[in-house]
Amino acid sequence: MKKKTNDTLKNKYLLTVLSIFCVLLIVISFLDSSLVSPVKQISGFLITPVQKGINGFGTWLSGLTDNFEDAQTLRAENAKLQEQVSTLTEENSQLIQDREELRRLRTLFELDEQYDEYEKTGARVIAKETGNWFQLFTIDKGSRDGVEPDMNVISGGGLVGIVTETGPNWATVRSIIDDNSNVSAMVSTTSDQCIIAGDLRLIDEGSLNLVQLTDADNKVHVGDKVVTSYISEKFLPGILIGYINELNNDTNNLTKSGYITPVVDFRHLQEVLVVLEKKEYVPSDSVSVPDDQDGDGA
C-alpha cells in the first residue's frame, strides 16, 4: 500500500515537472524563437520517422483496400464475361446446327427440282436399327400423309430405298444397302441392264455390288453413272444410284460384275423425300427379270 502511494506521488511530480517545462518552452518561444530551435530539431529528428512510418502504413492500408475493391470488381466482371462466353458458345452451336440443316434442306430442294416430275413429301428420320448404317429406319410421315408401301425414297442426290410398311404417322424404309435389297438398274450412258445388290459388309468400304451387267459391246467403263432401270418392278426409272468404281468379266464371259459407289451418305441420313407415286409395272413376256431382284426382298 505504501509502495503504491509512493508511485502515485512520483507520477504527480513528474507530471508537474513536464508541465512546467512545457510552459517554460512556450514562454521562451514567445520571447526568442532561436532558443527553442534545438528543441525543434530534436523533436523533428524523433517525430519525423514516426510520421513517415504512420504515413507509409496508411498508404499501404489504402492500397490494400483499393486492391481488394479492384479484385471484387474483376471477379464480378469475370463472372459476367464467363456468362457471355457461355451464351455465345451456345448461340454458336445453334448457328452451326442451323447452317448444317439449311445445307441439307438445300440439297433436298435441289433434289426435288431434279425430279420435279414426281410429287414428293419431306420427312425426318426418327429411328433406325442398331449399327452405324441406315439400312432399315423409320420416318415421321405415314398413311395420313399419303405414304404407302413400295414408294421410293430419295435423299443426298439419289436413291435411298423403298417404303416397306406404314402407320398413320410413320413409315419404315429399307435402304438399298440392306442385305435383302436388290434394285434393277442400268448404266445411263448405254442403258445396259444390271442389278445393284445390298451388302452391309461392302458398305463399310463405301461400295455396293453390281452384278449381271450385260455389256456385250464393252462400252461400260469405270466412272459411268448407274440409275434405276425402266424395267424395274418397284423403282421409278432414272433415279441416280451411284458410279461404277470397279468392273470385271464373269466366268461365263456373258456378263460382268463389279462395284459402285453410292451417292447417298447412308451413315448420316436425317431428312429424306418420299416420292408419292408408285411404279406402274406391267410384266412383259419379252423381258426376263430375275426373281427377287427388286425392292426389299419380298
Domain boundaries, the chain: 32-114, 119-280+290-298
- C-alpha to C-alpha distance for 90 and 182, rounded to whole angstroms: 44
Q: For the residues 165-183, what does the mean pLDDT come to?
A: 96
Grid cell at residue 191: 442403258
Count of helices and strands (H, E) across the chain: 3, 12
- One-letter amino acid identity for 74? L
- C-alpha to C-alpha distance for 187 and 229, rounded to whole angstroms: 9
Residue with cell 445388290: 197
This prediction's pTM = 0.63
What pLDDT digit, counting tens, does each position of 235-288 carry? 999 999 999 999 999 999 899 999 999 999 999 899 999 999 998 866 655 444
Residue 184 CB contacts under 8 Å (≥ 6 apart), including other chains: 193, 195, 228, 229, 231, 232, 233, 235, 289, 293, 294
pLDDT band at 130 (very low <50, low <70, confident <90, very high): confident
pLDDT band at 292 (very low <50, low <70, confident <90, very high): very low
- CB 272 within 8 Å of CB 153: yes
CATH topology of domain 119-280+290-298: Thrombin, subunit H (2.40.10)
Instruction: Report the candidate in 193, 185, 202 with the shortest Cα–Cα distance to residue 135.
Output: 202
Element (H, E) at 171: strand 171-175
